[in-house]
Structure 1
Amino acid sequence: MLTVTVDSAPVAEVLSKLLGRLDDLTPAMASIGQELESRVSGRFETETDPLGHPWAPWAESTKESYPKDGNHRILDRYGDMLRSLNSRPDKTSVRVGFGAVSSKKGKDAYAVYHEWSTEHMPRRGLLMADPDAGTLAPDDEQAVLDILGTFLVPASI
C-alpha cells in the first residue's frame, strides 16, 4: 500500500490544537475523508486535476485498444477505479485512496500511475496538487481547514 503524508503547516497547526483538546478525532477525520472522496469523485466528472488542469487525453494506442463496451471516459473504463475510492478514518488521521484502503487489489496501483505518471503515461492527478511534495490543492486544503475549524470551535467553549 502506498502512503502519502500531506505536508501542510496550517493543517498541522489546527490538528495539534485539536489533539490537545480531544482524545479522538475520528469524527473530524471521517468528515475530511468524505469531503476528499467527493472532490476526487468530481474530478472524474470534470476530468481535471486538483488544480483544475485538464487531464491529458488518451494516447492513440489507448483509443485503439479501448473496449467497445467501456464508458469512453478518461480513467473510467468500467468504473472500477472510481468505485474503489474510499476513506478510512481513525483517531488521528484519515486514509483516502483507491483499492488499498478497502483491500481491493489492483486499483491502488493503477491510481498511483496516474497520480505520479510513468514513462509512458502522463500524470492525471486525482488527490494531490503535488504528490512528491505531499501537498493538497489550495481549495482542498481550505476545505480540510474548514472542517477542522468546525471541530475546534466547540472544543474551545
Structure 2
Amino acid sequence: MLTITVNNLAFRSYLDELDGKLGDLTPVMEGIGMALESRVSERFETRSDPNGSGWSPWKESTRRTYPEDGNRRLLDRYGDMLASLNHQADARSVTVGFGSPIAAFHEWGTDHMDRRGMLFANPDAGTLGADDETMVVEMLSDFLDPGT
C-alpha cells in the first residue's frame, strides 16, 4: 500500500490533545477512515478531485486503445482500483489508500497522463482538499468535545 503522510499542524494539535485525554484514538481514526473512503468513492462518480475540479478526459490515444471489455469509465476500467480502496485505523493514526499500485500514477499524474487527484489536493505536500480537511477537524473536535 502506498503510504502518504498528511502534513497539517491543526490535525497534529488535535491528535496530541486527544491522545493526552483519551489514549486510544481508534474509534475516531476508524470514523475518519470510513468518511475519507466515502469521499474518494464519490469522486469516482463526480469525476472530480478533492478541490472540486473535474478530472481531465481521456486523451484521444487512450480512447482509441481502450479495451472493449472495460466499463468505459474514467479511472474505472474494470473497477479494480476503486475496489482496492481501503483504510486501516489504530490508536494513533489512520491510513487511507488503494491496494492497486496504479493509483499513484493517477494521484500524481505522469509525463503522458494528466493528474486525476483522488485523495489529496496536493499529493506532494500531503494536503487534503479544504472540505476533507474541515471534515477531519470537525470529527476530531466532536470526538474531543462531544457536547458541542
Normalised TM-score (structure 2): 0.95
Displacement, 1:47?
Answer: 0.3
Work out the CA distance in 2 between the residues paired with 1:93 and 1:62: 38
Q: In the TM superposition, what whole-angstrom CA distance separates every residue of 1:100-130 from its partner, at most 9, and x where no partner exists? A: xxxxxxx1x2100011111111100000000
Report the 3-state secondary structure (helix = DSSP H, G, I; strand = E; otherwise coil) of the residue aligned with 1:19. Answer: helix
Equivalent residue number for residue 109 of structure 2? 117
* Structure 2 contact 23–91 (Cα < 8 Å) conserved: yes
Say what the alpha-carbon RMSD is for the aligned residues: 1.2
Equivalent residue number for residue 65 of structure 2? 65
Is 2:20 the partner of 1:28? no
Task: List alignment gaps of at least 5 residues for structure 1.
Answer: 100-106
Task: List alignment gaps of at least 5 residues for structure 2.
Answer: none
Aligned 1:8-157 pairs, distance under 5 A? 8-99=8-99, 107=100, 109-154=101-146
Extract structure 1 runs of 4+ deviating beyond 4 A: none
* Structure 2 contact 2–98 (Cα < 8 Å) conserved: no
Percent identity of paired positions between Structure 1 and Structure 2: 58
Displacement, 1:34?
Answer: 0.3
The one-letter code matched in structure 2 to 1:45 is E
Displacement, 1:13?
Answer: 1.1
Work out the CA distance in 1 between the residues paired with 2:9 and 2:132: 14
Displacement, 1:146?
Answer: 1.1
Count of matched residue pairs:
147
- Bigger shift: 1-10 or 129-138? 1-10
Displacement, 1:148?
Answer: 0.8
Displacement, 1:11?
Answer: 1.1
Displacement, 1:142?
Answer: 0.6
Displacement, 1:51?
Answer: 0.2
Q: In the TM superposition, what whole-angstrom CA distance separates every residue of 1:27-83 from its partner, at most 9, and x where no partner exists? A: 110000000000000000000000011111101121111122221111010111001
Report the 3-state secondary structure (helix = DSSP H, G, I; strand = E; otherwise coil) of the residue aligned with 2:29. Answer: helix
The one-letter code matched in structure 2 to 1:70 is G
Displacement, 1:2?
Answer: 2.5
- Bigger shift: 145-154 or 16-25? 145-154
* Structure 2 contact 120–127 (Cα < 8 Å) conserved: yes
